[in-house]
Amino acid sequence: MIDSFLIGFALLLVVGVATVAALTRDPVRQAAVLAVLGLCLALLFVVLQAPDVALSQLAVGTAITPLLILLTARKVRRK
């Protein structure tokens, strides 16, 4: 029972943060929201008992992707 509650909560959290990420227009704010989305997805993967996928999501979704977005936004704004 508690497992299904945790899975449902994690799914609702992911859906909510993903919606906010899709509706965010500023690239810098969107990078921050995507980092939070990466954390939420990692939490979902841990709840679903996939720790290896969760670690990959932490590295890519929480760190690398937002960093690349921030660097790209900085480069585009500079020109």
What does the pLDDT look like over 1-59, one tens digit per residue? Answer: 778 999 999 999 999 999 999 999 999 999 999 999 999 999 999 999 999 999 999 99
Tokens standing for residue 34: 């995507």
Q: What is the Cα Rg of the chain in Å?
A: 14
| Contact indicator for 27, 69 with CB cutoff of 8 Å | yes
Q: Which residue has the tokens 């939490």?
A: 43
In this prediction the pTM is 0.88
Alpha helices by DSSP H, listed for 24-64, are: 27-47, 51-57
Report the candidate in 77, 30, 37 with the shortest Cα–Cα distance to residue 57.
37
Report the candidate in 26, 28, 56 with the shortest Cα–Cα distance to residue 41.
56
